[in-house]
Amino acid sequence: MDLNLSSKIFVVTGGAKGIGEAISIALAEEGAHVAIVGRNMDDNLAAVEKIVAAGGHARAFQAELSHADACRRVTSEIMAQYGQIDGLVNNAGANDGVGLENGSPEAFMESLGRNLVHYYLMAHYALPGLKESKGAIVNITSKTAETGQGGTSGYAAANGGRNALTREWAVELLPYGIRVNAVAVAECYTPLYERWIKTLPDPEVALERISNQIPLGHRMTTPHEIACMVAFLLSEKSSHTTGQIIYVDGGYTHLDRAI
């Protein structure tokens, strides 16, 4: 399907690795220009090099997203480079294991900064550009907001906030024609997930056990499957879809995992 994204400008936070990289690649394959934003410039440049080598268009921008000044600066830089922003993908973050029992109030607040606050900051500073383009926002979120996980209060709370902001912004931005949706991830096999699996006593057994709990196909979701949904939600093919949290998870969150 041609999503008609050619020459559109999309900002992807954390767009150099894992799900973010898959989103950047998918958008570039549709002809879009991708502004990859993250704290590690070497990673950003490596992702850009890969996209350009495949014939796509991307540029790297460095920002520590937990800092409001950095979010303001990087959105200004993107507008200066491109003159427009057609869509924002809030993706950066990590399941950092800040729990109730093993955490601290300070660590909890830091986790919210790493995983939630910059979603607001990037949307706030990108808003003038999005108003001009009648663009779209896609927030990447996690099943932890609904299912819980244990030992990750900060990340779970951040994802609950991401879901709430998705619906709040969908209402607030209706007058501007800006659509806001979220894609919720459950068990997606990324390099980060692979590193975590390898820390367990028997990684192969653990991976098989988790995969067997995923109803559709008893397999992990791929980053590419997440990316395809994001590209669709950014496109005019989803022109009457807003305020939705879409679970690309093989039914893991809402279907009986014993199926």
Catalytic residue among 155, 193, 247, 252: 155
Whether 187 and 222 have beta carbons less than 8 Å apart is answered as: no
Annotated catalytic residue 176 = no
The one-letter code for the residue type at 54 is A
Angle at 163 between CA 161 and CA 167, to 5 degrees: 115
**Strand arrangement, sheet containing 136-142:** 57-62, 33-38, 9-13, 87-90, 136-142, 179-185, 245-247
Biggest CA-to-CA distance, the chain:
53
- 58 secondary structure, DSSP code: E
Place of tokens 């607030």: 172
Active-site positions read 155
